[in-house]
Amino acid sequence: MQLTDENFEKEILNSSKPVLVDFFATWCGPCSVLQPILEKISEDLEGKFILAKANIDEVPVTSQKFGINVIPTIILFKNGKNVSGFSGLRPEGIIKEWLENMLAEDSEKLIKEYEGYAKSRGFKLNPDKEITARIIKGLLGNEKKHGKRFCPCRRVTGNEEEDLKNVCPCAYHLEEIEKNGHCLCQLFVNQRE
């Protein structure tokens, strides 16, 4: 995908996948070496991200906005936000490892985070992977929509003080696990279950 000053924001914000933007110039030697490396990685990781190119000579406004003063510069956007990047030429293996880490599913990271939390408190995540995946999807959806990982089983009211009690792990989960063997949404369950 070729980016311009006119379409940059629209393409980045409307993308359902992460977008890796290669800021380059046709006269830049290292850029010419990096482009086939990025294309190969894009093929290897097919479907996990979109590779976009932004010629700095043709995107002066965008280049200035992102402070591009060294090329090549690579920026990874997820959900329309600049999440990471680097400048200069790097070996294929280093770039691929960095990108794979950056593209690791948010749900996988969140599951690991909650597994650690549960273990440290003497309970565990629900062993039913479908239930856990559904709840994690709801948490991530709420984070995207509301800016916080509100429990998907509780209503977001707009009252900030009350809603903060519903950020997972919510204020009620310990009591619910003790009383019912699981929290309301059933993400966390007692060790014995």
Q: Is 41 helix (H, G, I), strand (E, B) or coil?
A: helix
pLDDT of residue 23: 96
Write down the architecture of domain 106-190 according to CATH.
Alpha-Beta Complex (3.90)
Res. 113: pLDDT tops 60: yes
| 24-63: pLDDT as tens digits | 999 999 999 999 999 999 999 887 899 999 999 999 999 9
C-alpha closest to that of 15 among 77, 75, 106? 77
Res. 140: pLDDT tops 70: yes
Give the strand pairing for 73-78 and 81-87. Answer: antiparallel
Rounded Cα–Cα distance for residues 21 and 75 (Å): 5
pTM value is 0.59
pLDDT of residue 176: 93
pLDDT of residue 192: 67
Contact 102, 47 (CB under 8 A): no
Domain assignments of the chain as residue spans, ordered by start: 8-103, 106-190
Write down the architecture of domain 8-103 according to CATH.
3-Layer(aba) Sandwich (3.40)
| 156-174: pLDDT as tens digits | 898 988 999 999 999 999 9
Cis previous bond, 169, omega within 30: yes
Res. 193: pLDDT tops 60: no
Where in the sequence numbering do the catalytic residues fall? 28, 31
Phi, psi of 88 (to 5 degrees): 95, 175
Rounded Cα–Cα distance for residues 141 and 145 (Å): 6
Rounded Cα–Cα distance for residues 24 and 70 (Å): 9
pLDDT of residue 55: 95
